[in-house]
């Protein structure tokens, strides 16, 4: 199959406008602002259904795209389902995850806007690795503030970022006011993604460089739609369409990437599709959060967005190893969830890892911890469909591989994460 020539923009098909951002009430504390390339701002606001992928970005995509779509037949037999499960695998690139799809695009636009150095905050390291890889491609310097617990637990990710030329700093650090303030209440230096983002923002503001916002902005979800567009064509060639699309949710980029093209078809009057966001019970922003305006990081300087949030000061437990630790959901995903256009389910890390172990043994692929939550939710949904007498077709995004996360899987095998509970949390009622 050919690469998609354009990204899919769901905004024209929504039938409603996304709530506008609000300026930070503390914005007067600094005369600097986060700089975003005009091209990305135009994409954020565009009402064009299709936005052309620049040739320079498409050339890089062609190094690993299109990505494979596979049927998990052995896993189906292992869990005893009559439903069909297909998975789209996004781990076959240098960064090891789907995040390179938007990192390549964003850094291309940052370079064209004149950026020479980018600062970025990262949780488990997927976003930081993707930005470091993209900066290496386009010749930009990169500084990564990485959540302290992940910095120590994931030396492989840190080593790869440094190999790619990035400077990697454990957060909270003593390089920023945000980091020094956070360290007073976090003597162990576990950190949180919100603090890491705040440090990256402050660094960019004080140096005059650019802060690379991350994977929750609407333009980031736009770039990720190459996942769903490819999956749609691949399934069409197999003569099938999914009843249910599942992905994990941190900020929302891989969920949006695989689900929005299918949801867009539904919004335009096509076949209905069920979309399930899978999140950890350690960071249950959709299933237990509030829909309100909140800061996107702990600096309180960035604009407020209307989102499902646990609060910008929220920190996931230190033993939560996955990257799904962001306190809020992307405003686009939040709006869809608020309007009951998608569902959410939460489960424990131990439950997700147990299912991931079954998947790895059955399919010969070790999923990223983030993907483990999606695979677990998919297995649960398949068995629920069987029990209702309606075996279906499920599509799940395996957003990355778990080879950088072997210490987490070892902790699971040694019982350091506790045991799976007898029941997963039910799907959050609509």
Place of tokens 């000061």: 313
Do residues 330 and 218 lie in contact, with contact meaning Cβ atoms separated by under 8 Å?
yes
Between CA 230 and CA 281 the distance in angstroms is: 31
**pLDDT score for 29:** 45
Give me the half-sphere count of Cα atoms (radius 13 Å) on the Cβ side of residue 321. 26
- The low-confidence residues of the chain, meaning pLDDT below 70, are 26-34, 298-299, 321, 418-430
- Whether residue 172 is preceded by a cis peptide bond, meaning omega within 30 degrees of 0, is yes
**pLDDT score for 27:** 53
Do residues 140 and 107 lie in contact, with contact meaning Cβ atoms separated by under 8 Å?
yes
Minimal CA–CA distance to 122: which of 58, 232, 216? Answer: 216
Between CA 277 and CA 344 the distance in angstroms is: 5
Looking at domain 66-96+225-413, which CATH architecture does it have? 3-Layer(aba) Sandwich (3.40)
Between CA 247 and CA 261 the distance in angstroms is: 14
pTM of the prediction? 0.92
Between CA 407 and CA 249 the distance in angstroms is: 22
Residue 243, SS3 per DSSP: coil
The per-residue pLDDT for range 16-54, each reduced to its tens digit, is: 999 999 987 765 444 334 578 999 999 999 999 999 999
The per-residue pLDDT for range 417-429, each reduced to its tens digit, is: 754 443 334 333 3
DSSP string, 313-328: T----TT--SS---SB
Domain borders along the chain are 6-57+99-211, 66-96+225-413
Minimal CA–CA distance to 258: which of 236, 271, 277? Answer: 277
> Which strand (E) or helix (H) includes residue 255?
helix 253-267
**pLDDT score for 31:** 37
Tokens of 422: 């007898």
Strand 69-71 relative to strand 84-89, pairing = antiparallel
DSSP string, 367-419: B-HHHHHHHHHHHHHHHHHHHTT---EEEEEE-BBSTT-HHHHHHHHTTTT-P
CATH class of 6-57+99-211: alpha beta
Between CA 159 and CA 376 the distance in angstroms is: 30
Q: Report CA-CA distances (Å) from 328 to 30, 186, 194.
A: 24, 21, 10
Between CA 97 and CA 112 the distance in angstroms is: 25
Question: Are 6-57+99-211 and 66-96+225-413 the same fold in CATH?
Answer: yes
**pLDDT score for 134:** 98
The per-residue pLDDT for range 208-265, each reduced to its tens digit, is: 899 998 778 999 999 999 999 999 999 999 999 999 999 999 999 999 999 999 999 9
Burial of 6 by CB count in 10 Å (0-12 exposed, 13-18 middle, 19+ buried)? middle
Place of tokens 């910095």: 151
**pLDDT score for 243:** 97
Strand 393-398 relative to strand 244-248, pairing = parallel
């Amino acid at each position: 199959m050919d690469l998609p020539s354009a990204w899919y923009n769901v905004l024209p098909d929504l039938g409603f406008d996304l709530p506008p951002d609000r300026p930070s009430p503390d914005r007067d504390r600094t005369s600097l602002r986060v700089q975003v390339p005009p091209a990305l701002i135009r994409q954020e606001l565009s009402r064009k259904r299709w936005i052309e992928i620049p040739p320079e970005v498409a050339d890089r995509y062609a190094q690993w795209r299109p990505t494979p779509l596979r049927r998990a037949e052995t896993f189906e037999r292992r869990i005893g389902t009559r439903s069909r499960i297909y998975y789209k695998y996004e781990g076959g690139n240098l960064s090891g995850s789907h995040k390179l799809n938007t990192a390549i695009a964003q850094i291309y636009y940052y370079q064209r806007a004149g950026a020479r150095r980018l600062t970025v905050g990262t949780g488990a390291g997927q976003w930081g690795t993707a930005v470091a890889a993209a900066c290496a491609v386009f010749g930009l310097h990169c500084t990564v503030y990485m959540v302290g617990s992940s910095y120590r637990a994931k030396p492989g990710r840190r080593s790869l970022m440094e190999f790619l030329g990035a400077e990697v700093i454990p957060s909270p650090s003593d390089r920023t006011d945000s980091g020094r303030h956070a360290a007073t209440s976090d003597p162990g230096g576990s950190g949180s993604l919100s603090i890491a983002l705040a440090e990256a923002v402050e660094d960019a503001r004080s140096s005059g460089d650019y802060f690379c916002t991350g994977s929750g902005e609407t333009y980031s979800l736009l770039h990720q739609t190459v996942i769903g567009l490819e999956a749609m064509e691949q399934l069409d060639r197999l003569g099938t369409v999914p009843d249910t699309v599942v992905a994990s949710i941190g900020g929302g980029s891989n969920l949006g990437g695989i689900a929005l093209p299918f949801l867009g078809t539904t919004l335009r009057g096509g076949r209905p599709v069920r979309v399930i966001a899978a999140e950890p019970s350690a960071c249950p922003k959709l299933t237990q959060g509030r829909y309100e305006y909140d800061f996107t990081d702990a600096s309180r300087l960035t604009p407020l967005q209307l989102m499902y949030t646990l609060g910008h000061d929220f920190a996931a437990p230190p033993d939560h190893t996955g990257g799904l630790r962001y306190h809020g959901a992307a405003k686009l995903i939040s709006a869809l969830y608020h309007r009951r256009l998608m569902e959410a389910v939460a489960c424990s890390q131990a439950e997700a890892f147990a299912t991931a172990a079954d998947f790895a043994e059955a399919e010969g692929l070790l999923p990223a911890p983030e993907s483990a939550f999606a695979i677990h939710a998919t297995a649960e949904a398949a068995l629920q469909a069987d029990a209702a007498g309606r075996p279906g077709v499920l599509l799940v995004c395996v957003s990355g591989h778990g080879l950088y996360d072997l210490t987490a899987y070892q902790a699971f095998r040694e019982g350091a994460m506790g045991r799976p509970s007898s029941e997963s949390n039910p799907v959050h009622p609509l």
